[in-house]
Amino acid sequence: MENVEERKNALKRGIKLLNLALLGTGGEMPMPNRFLSSVILNYQGRKILIDCGEGTQVSMRILKWGFKSIDIICVTHIHGDHIFGLPGLLSTIGNSGRIEPITIIGPKGISDAIKEILAFIGYLPYNLYIIENPKLPLNFSISSKGSKIENSNGNMNISALELEHSIPCIGYSFYIPRKPKFLIEKAKSNKVPKEIWNRLQNGENVNYKCKAYTPDMVLGEKRKGIKLSFTTDTRPIDTIADFINKSDLFICEGTYGDNEDLEKAIKNKHMTFSETASLAKHGNVDRLLLTHFSPAMDNPEIYIKNAASIFPNTIIGYDGFIDELSF
């Protein structure tokens, strides 16, 4: 990760950053050096949490990114190692002084699960907006002031994919669009008044002095944004490769490192390192970050060759791992 000064310089140059941290990389049960499944994303100073296993709050305390700015919680499925940290976290967020609503996205059954959680939490000073098993991409407008769902435009698109596990489970893809480059020469050649350059650059159609102007009169071609994809607790089904296609970072389960554990992986609806790496390869992703390790696997690094031989740009995750994506 870049140091603080490099990051400040990047921000001055207008480079957008999506920071992420692994709060827990374990599956099934927490271990002394490994909490249960949880990832946090930081964009525009606002937070998106993916799963909330036991130990999430402890990791967040160590990370010092704060609780109050969590706007969206994405739940993959309703197994304990992915949600048992949620009741305490929701209470802590309430104690932090938050009053703005929080959006919770999850698979079929998430609404009932949240109702059960709220039954023994009691009062929360903010509302929860539940989105169950979304079929279409969700468009969010995220700024330093907060996050809200938009009908179409937004600076963060969240998509979901149904996975193959023992209960309903979904994967997530997060995409930050990148605006086309503003071309001064193109604006001048189209005789676009400088007074409306900024509005056109922001995608607005403008009527100015009885003449219509459109963004394509000042902008270049579309540019690739940032894409991060996350799947866990699943078999390697065909639809995943298309879903994660061209991700800058693919975070995926690596429950079993040893290829000899394939039979266990099939039985328990999980994946081996080799299977995960094959998905990364077929999905044309830039990097693969492995997480969600079985408690029987003390040192996942021992098995990294099983993934790296198929997909060289593989990283073994650990609690406290921090990374950032930028353009």
What's the DSSP call for residue 242? H
- Helix (H) / strand (E) element for 39: namely strand 38-43
Catalytic residue among 51, 71, 81, 248: 81
The answer to whether the CB of 282 falls within 8 A of the CB of 252 is: no
CA distances in angstroms from 148 to 16, 40, 140, listed in the order given? 19, 18, 5
Write the secondary structure of 155-222 as one string of H (helix), E (strand) and C (coil).
Answer: CEEEEEEECCCCCCCEEEEEEEEECCCECHHHHHHCCCCHHHHHHHHCCCCEEECCEEECHHHCECCC
Phi, psi of 265 (to 5 degrees): -60, -45
User: Which two structure tokens, joined as six digits, stand for 201?
Assistant: 């650059």
Provide the residue type at 172 as one letter: Y
Q: What distances in angstroms separate CA 237 from CA 234, 243, 286, one per listed residue? A: 8, 11, 20
Which residues touch 275 (CB under 8 Å, ≥6 apart)? 236, 262, 265
Q: Which residues pair with 229 in a beta bridge?
A: 173, 250
Gap between the Cα atoms of 27 and 29, Å rounded: 6
CA distances from 112 to 71, 97, 107, 238 (A): 20, 26, 11, 30
Helix, strand or coil, per DSSP, at residue 7:
helix
Is residue 323 part of the annotated active site? The answer reads no
Which one-letter DSSP state was computed for residue 35?
A: -
Q: Could you identify the residue written with the tokens 């990114």? A: 65
Q: State the catalytic residues.
A: 81
